[in-house]
Amino acid sequence: MTPEPEPHPAMPEPHPAMPEPHPAMPEPHPAMPEPHPLTPSSPLPTRALTRESARVRRLLATGAWCPSAAGAHAAAAVLARLTAPLPSRRAASVRTIVTDRDRRLQRVLRTTLHHLDAHAVDPPVTALLAAVARALLPWHAAPKPPAAAAAPRYGELSAAPPTAAGEALLPTLSALFTELVAPHPPTSTPRPPAPTPWQAHHPGRFRHYGRPAPGVWTARTFACPACGDTDGPWTVASDWRLTSLRCPCGVTTHDHGLALSEIWLLLPDE
C-alpha cells in the first residue's frame, strides 16, 4: 500500500505576510480635544479664564470642595446673565441685533464685577469671577459706556468689541456655572482648598472709584502711605483673600482701599 501524502505539505498559511488590518491606524482622534472656546486662538484675554475654569472643574469633580452659599448665589446671578435670551424684535436692523448681543455680554461683565468686588465669595469663585471679568473687558464701555468722566476706564476703548468671540465663551461658561449652582450632597461642606498665591507687576497708577449717586463718580489715585509715590512700579501679591501692594521704597500695604477689579483688570493676562 502506498502511503498517502500529507495534505498540502507545501501549502503556505493564508496570507503569511499579510499585515493585520490597519496595524498602525490610530484610534479615531485619540488626542483630539472637544471643541473648547477657551483657547489661545481667541482674540480675548482668556489665559486666566482657561486656568481658573480648569481648576474649578477639578475641585468640583473630586468632591473635595463645593462653593459656599455666597459663592453659589454669585454663580447663579452670573448664570442668569449668561443664559439670558436676546430680545425678540420684529424687523430689527443688523446694528440693533449686534447691539443686543453686545448688551448681553456687557450685563454678564457688570454682574460679574459686582459680585467680584463685593468680596463675599470663596477664593476659587473669586478667581473665576476675576478671570471672566478680564476676558469680557472689551465690553466694559460697550455698547453703553459710563456717562461720567470719572468712571473707570480700562485699556483702549474699542469701537467694535469682538462680539462673536465673546459669544463663543457663553456655552462653556454656562455649563461651568451650572455645575457651581448644582445641588451638592447634604454631607458636603464648603471646605476651602489650599491658597493659590500669585504675584504680578504694574508700572502705572491705581485708581479707586466711588459712586455716591447714580451717574456720579469720584476717583482718587492710590499713593504709598510711606513715601507718597503714585506711579510705582507696584508689586501686587494676592491669594484671592487678601491683596497687597508693594512700593519701590519697600513698604507693603494691604490697606489700599482698592476694589479687586481696580487692581486685577490693570494686570497682564498671565
pLDDT tens string 49-108: 999 999 999 999 988 788 999 999 999 999 999 999 999 888 788 889 999 999 999 999
Give the cell for residue 164.
462673536
The CA distance from 85 to 171, in Å, is 13
Q: What is the pLDDT of residues 110-148, one digit of tens each?
A: 999 999 999 999 999 999 999 999 999 999 989 988 777
Distance CA 6, CA 213 (A): 105
Strand partners, 245: 236, 253
Which DSSP helix (H) or strand (E) runs through 135? helix 123-135
Q: Check whether 150 has a pLDDT greater than 90.
A: no
Q: Which amino acid is at 106?
A: Q
Residue predicted with more confidence, 34 or 32: 34
For the ranges 4-8, 154-158, 173-177, which has the lowest average pLDDT? Answer: 4-8
pTM for the model: 0.82
Residue 194 has a pLDDT of 82
